[in-house]
Amino acid sequence: MKRSEINALQKDAVSFFEEQKFYLPPWAFWSVNDWQRNASLAAEVINNKLGWDLTDFGQGDFHKKGLLLFTIRNGKTDSAQSKTYAEKIMIVREGQLTPWHFHWLKMEDIINRGGGNLVVELCNSTEDELLADTAVTVQVDGITKSVAPGSSIILKPGESVTLPPYLYHKFYGEEGKGAVLVGEVSRVNDDEKDNRFLDPIGRFPQIEEDEPALYCLCNEYPGE
């Protein structure tokens, strides 16, 4: 991706967050110089990779298969002194897919915070971590529901689903309903060790630096 594309996506994200009355912490808007001056004070942010995040899953087509997110809080799975929980805010566009995956350790609530409708497809995992053909039982806002393997639930604004470990899921915005503001509340998030994607994917996009970065991504903080 070009840096100019990422900058434009971040600008659009800020506008969408404001439209939905969701506000980011002040350091979300720090410049590279701000990060350099405050690196020691912002160690928790830097070490836990909080902040702006973007992936095209290694496919090179962000609008078809990709996700823009902002990690607000997180800890470390191997540290007794860190937070034991995480929170993210995401923007999911119409038809923009986050592909099949589950987490070995993390339980999470995926919440439609506003905007359009979020389509979440669900499937149990087999013992060898493939898609199972068994019915899926999940909690939707605390209400137990059973759905056929590979089928979807649609979360309207205000609705949420609880995803336990080993439950495959993929999601995208429902066509014709607009972008979705999606929240995630979970146990500690560890993208390096706790993501099982059904098909191999990439993580961070290759970036063509055609203009200066608007805001640092979480893997770009000075000194990282």
Span 150-167, pLDDT tens digits:
999 999 999 999 999 999
pLDDT (0 to 100) of residue 224: 47
**pTM to 2 decimals?**
0.95
What is the per-residue burial (b if ≥16 Cβ within 10 Å, else e) of 91-105? bbbbebbbbbbbbee
Residue 72 resides in a domain: yes
In contact, 215 and 10? CB cutoff 8 Å: yes
Residue 220 resides in a domain: no
Q: Which of 57, 58, 56, 54 minimizes the C-alpha distance to 68? A: 54
CATH of the domain at 145: 2.60.120.10
Which residue range(s) make up the domain with 166? Answer: 3-197
- Round to whole Å and give the CA distance between 85 and 218: 18
Residue 214 resides in a domain: no
Span 106-154, pLDDT tens digits:
999 999 999 999 999 999 999 999 999 999 999 999 999 999 999 999 9
Residue 185 resides in a domain: yes
pLDDT (0 to 100) of residue 115: 98
| Count: domains in the chain | 1
pLDDT (0 to 100) of residue 223: 67
Residue 211 resides in a domain: no
pLDDT (0 to 100) of residue 132: 98
- Round to whole Å and give the CA distance between 164 and 40: 35
Low-confidence stretches of the chain (pLDDT beneath 50) = 224
Residue 109 resides in a domain: yes
Residue 216 resides in a domain: no
pLDDT (0 to 100) of residue 79: 75
